[in-house]
Every structure is written in structure tokens, then in C-alpha cells.
Amino acid sequence: MNDKWTAQLSAYLDGELTADKRTDLERHVESCDECRTALQQLRGVVTWAADFEGREPANDVWPQIAAVIGDTPSGVVKLDARRRSPKHFALSIPQSLAAAIALAVVGAGGWSLARLTAPESQMAAVIDISAPDAGATVMATIAVAQKYGPAISDLERVLLQENGTLDSTTVRVLRQQLAIIDRALTEAQEALARDPASHFLADHYTGMMKKKLNVLRQAARNVEVSS
């Protein structure tokens, strides 16, 4: 094992040997079981390292980071502060819109959707709605959230739990997919805040809620099939 060839195996794997040395080593490895075994094992080490995805830290330091970068986890998100282009949304809507939606009616002139909160996130948003037709679309949006919300929450809780029935890759992909849908929901919500009377936006929002539920249902069916 401790022959002069062993020391060259790493360099060989990394493609660092000259052509001559490479040929010599390959010739030797063909006839030496020990070097062949070592080479394959070393390849295993290198592959493991390249694919290693890391391990979660003992403590989640996101709250400290959020505090520094100016996230407003419990405050009101300023609508104008971040509205730099139509593509970028401003409202912070919780992952699952479902849980608790409280509607406050202020004054005679319009509606104010005062708090949009969910248990896993204490985000709050204030939407000022003064368009004449606003009440109806906002109510419709809330009805949609109430209709689909509980089923979405339940499925999310079951499917995304640690050590659940889904394999980790599927959970990861599912989370990504849900994140995209959540983003679209957030965008729709923000657009509605600017244009509360838009039926198109209300429909879009409804469509995304349905899509989210469908994705989760599909995942649930997948669990039933595979288990």
C-alpha cells in the first residue's frame, strides 16, 4: 500500500499529473489491487464532498439578521418604500394566508383590511382601499382565503413536517414550488392593494389559491401511492 504510487492518487484524481505520469500510474493501477481500491474510495470522498449540502446550524440566526437588515416582522410594511417597479411587490403576506384574517371597516368612505396574519408569521399589512367598487373584490378575496385556507394549512402542516412521509428531496421541491405560489399570491395581493376594484386580479388571486391547494393535494396523493 505504501508504494510510491499511492501518494500520486489524489493528484491523479484532480487531473494534476503530467501525461507521462498519468499513463504510468494507470498502468500500475491495473495490476495493483490495493491502489485500485484506494483510488475508488478516494473518488468516493471527492464525490461526497462535492455533493455535500451542509448541516443546519444549531441555532437559527435569521431573527438577528432580519433585525439588522430592516425586516419588519411584526410591524407594518410600508407600501411605497419598496415599490420600485411593478414586478416587485411590497406586501409581506404570510406563507399560508389562511389562518386569521380580520377585517375592519373604517368610516363610511372605504374598507381597510387592517390585519392579515397567520400563526407561523406575525406579518401585518395595511391596505388602504378607497375605490368605490373595492369592497366587493376585497370581500371576494377574503372569501377565497377562508374557503381554501384551512385545507391548505392542514396539508402544509402534514406534508412539510420533519421526518414526515415524503422524502427530503420531494419536500424541498415542494417547498420551492409553494414559495413561488406564495410569491404570486403576494404579488396579486399587492396589486389588489393598488387596484382594489380589479376583478382580473381577484380572479388571479383565486386561481393561485386553487393552484396551491392542487399542488398540495397532488403531494398528498403521492404519499398515498408510495406508502
Partner 1 sequence: MTSLARELEQTPAQADAIDVDLAVNGDTQAFERLYRRHTPRVNSLARWLLSRDDVDDVLQDVFIRVWEKLDTFRGQAAFGTWLHRLATNVILRQRERYRKDEKRGSGSLLEVADMSASPVSPGLSIDIEAAVDRLPERARQVFVLHDLEGYKHEEIAQVLTISVGTSRSQLHHARMAMRSFFAA
Per CB under 8 A, does 28 bind partner 1? Answer: no
From the CB of 17, what's the least distance to partner 1, in Å? 12
100, 106, 143, 179: which one contacts partner 1 (CB under 8 A)?
179
Per CB under 8 A, does 202 bind partner 1? Answer: no
From the CB of 105, what's the least distance to partner 1, in Å? 29
Q: Which does 205 bind (CB under 5 to 8 A by kind): Zn ion, partner 1, none?
A: none
Site for Zn ion in 15-44 (CB under 5 A): 32, 35
**What's the grid cell of residue 35?**
491502489
Per CB under 8 A, does 41 bind partner 1? Answer: yes
**What's the grid cell of residue 70?**
430592516
Q: Which does 112 bind (CB under 5 to 8 A by kind): partner 1, Zn ion, none?
A: none
Q: Which does 137 bind (CB under 5 to 8 A by kind): partner 1, Zn ion, none?
A: none
Q: Residue 1: how many CB atoms within 10 A of its CB?
A: 9
| DSSP collapsed to 3 states, the chain | CCCCCHHHHHHHHCCCCCHHHHHHHHHHHHHCHHHHHHHHHHHHHHHHHHHCCCCCCCCCCHHHHHHHHCCCCCCECCCCCCCCCCCCCCCCCCCCCCCEEEEEEECCCEEEEEEEEECCECCECCEEECCCCHHHHHHHHHHHHHHHHHHHHHHHHHHCCCCCCCCHHHHHHHHHHHHHHHHHHHHHHHHHHHCCCCHHHHHHHHHHHHHHHHHHHHHHHHHHHHC
Residue 3 or 167 with smaller CB distance to Zn ion: 3
Residue 9 or 134 with smaller CB distance to Zn ion: 9
Per CB under 8 A, does 27 bind partner 1? Answer: no
Site for partner 1 in 77-136 (CB under 8 A): 81-82, 84-85, 88-89, 92
In the numeric block, the cell 471527492 is attached to 46
Residues that bind Zn ion (CB under 5 A): 3, 5, 32, 35
Residues that bind partner 1 (CB under 8 A): 6-7, 9-11, 36-38, 40-46, 48-50, 52-59, 61-62, 64-66, 68-71, 81-82, 84-85, 88-89, 92, 166-167, 169-170, 172-174, 176-177, 179-180, 183, 215, 218-219, 222, 226
